[in-house]
Amino acid sequence: MSDSNPSASPRPVRLESLTVRYGAATACRDVSLAVPRGAVYALLGRNGAGKSSLVRCLLGQQRPSSGRALLFGEDAWRTRRRAMERTGVVPEEPDAPAAMTARQLSDFSRRLYPRWDAAAVAERLRRFAVPEKTPFGRLSKGQKGEVMLALALGHSPELLVLDDPTLGLDVVARRALCEEVVGELADRGTTVFLTTHDLAAFEGLATRVGILKEGRLAVDEDLEALRARFRRIRYSNRLTETRTAFGNELDAFDAVRVQVRGWGIDAVVSNFDEAAFERFRAIDGVENAEASAMPLEEIFVAIAGEAPAKEGAAA
C-alpha cells in the first residue's frame, strides 16, 4: 500500500496511528508523524517512552499492534528488503561479526548494495582513525559506532536512521559522528531520523522534534517554532502576599511549570508572545519581569518531566 497522498512524493518516514503492545503493557499509542525529505527529525523521550519500539517498527523489524510504519510510502513490515536499499541504519548497540575487520565488513556489504562505495567507506574510516584490519570485536565502543556509521553511509542512502548513536561515546567520537552527519546533509540532502539522549549534540542539527511522553506523541513541531513559543519568565509581584502556583497574570502564556522562589516567581511557559509579554510587564504589581530563551533540554524537561539519562537502557 502506498503513501496516503498519491499526488505528492512519499515522505521518507511516516507513522500512521502506530500502537505497540507487549501483552497488557502499551509501549506507544496512536503515534502519527511524517518526516519531509532532507529534514533531521529528532525523536526524544524518557527511558520507556516507546522510542525503540517505534524504530523497530519503522525498520520492519517488528510488526505494530495496530497502525502502520511507512518507508518511502510503503509498509515497512511488508517491504523491508526494498526499503533497506535506500536506508542506512546505525543501531544503538553496534552489532557485527566480532572476527571481521572493518575492511571485510565493507567488502561483504558491497555484495548486498549495487551502489556501494568502498572508497568512501575507507575514507570515512581513515578520518575516524579506525584501523581497517583490527577485528570488530577488539575495537572500542566508539570505534564500533564509527564503523557502523561508515557502513550505514556506504550506499549513499536517502534516509539515515540513528538509534541513540552517541550513547557511550566519548566527546571526540560524538563530535566526529555529528560532523559526518552534517557533511551528509550538505552533500546529498540525506533525510535523518534519530532517537537520542544527547540533546546538546543534536540540537544544532535537528530541524523538527518529536517528544514522546508515556507512549504518546506530546510534541511534533519544527524546532524553531518550539523554541519560539517556550520561554522562562522570572518576575516578582509586590501585590501578592500569598503566592499560588499558577497566578492569573500568567494565563495568557499557558504556563507548564511555575515555582515560587524567595525572590519571586520562576515560570516556564509554552505560548510566549512578545506583545503579550509587554502587556504582562505593565500589570500593576509585576516587577523586574524577564523572559529568556530555553535550550532544548530544558524544554524537554518541562514537557516530559525530567532530562533523559546520558547513559542507560534502551527505551
Q: What is the DSSP string of the chain?
A: ---S-TTSPPPSEEEEEEEEEETTEEEEEEEEEEE-TT-EEEEEE-TTSSHHHHHHHHTTSS--SEEEEEETTEETTTSHHHHHTTEEEE-SS----TT-BHHHHHHHHHTT-TT--HHHHHHHHHHHT--TTSBGGGS-HHHHHHHHHHHHTTT--SEEEEESTTTT--HHHHHHHHHHHHHHHHHH--EEEEE-S-HHHHTTT-SEEEEEETTEEEEEEEHHHHHHH-EEEEEEETT-SS--SS-GGGGGGTEEEEEE-SSSEEEEESS--HHHHHHHHTSTTEEEEEEE---HHHHHHHHHSSPPPSS----
Within 10 Å of residue 310's Cβ, how many Cβ atoms? 12
Sequence ranges of the chain with CATH classification 3.30.70.260 = 231-293
155 near 116, Cβ under 8 Å? yes
pLDDT tens digits along 184-243: 776 788 899 999 888 888 888 899 999 999 899 999 999 999 999 999 999 988 765 444
R_g of the chain, CA atoms, integer Å = 22
pLDDT of 259 reads 87
For residues 133-150, b (16+ Cβ closer than 10 Å) or e, as one string? Answer: eeebeebeebbbbbbbbb
Query: What topology is assigned to 13-225 in CATH?
Result: Rossmann fold (3.40.50)
pLDDT of 278 reads 94
Q: pLDDT (tens digit, 0 to 9) for every residue of the chain, 315 residues total?
A: 445 444 457 899 999 999 999 999 999 999 999 999 999 999 999 888 889 999 999 999 999 999 999 999 999 999 988 899 999 999 988 889 999 999 999 999 999 998 999 999 999 999 889 998 999 999 998 899 899 999 999 999 999 999 988 877 778 878 888 888 877 776 788 899 999 888 888 888 899 999 999 899 999 999 999 999 999 999 988 765 444 444 578 888 999 988 888 788 999 999 999 999 999 999 888 999 999 999 999 999 999 876 544 443 334
Q: Which three cell numbers stand for residue 295?
A: 535550550
pLDDT of 313 reads 38
pLDDT of 311 reads 40
φ/ψ of 263, rounded to 5, equals -90, -15
Burial label for 195, CB within 10 Å (0-12, 13-18, 19+), is buried
Half-sphere CA count of 177, side-chain side, radius 13 A: 31
Sequence ranges of the chain with CATH classification 3.40.50.300 = 13-225
pLDDT of 310 reads 46
The C-alpha atoms of residue 139 and residue 143 are separated, in whole angstroms, by 6
Residue 255: C-alpha distances to residues 97, 232, 286, 303 (Å): 51, 10, 16, 11
Q: Supply the pTM of this predicted model.
A: 0.86
Q: How is the beta sheet containing 216-222 ordered, strand by strand? A: 87-90, 159-163, 191-195, 40-45, 208-213, 216-222
Class for the domain spanning 231-293: alpha beta
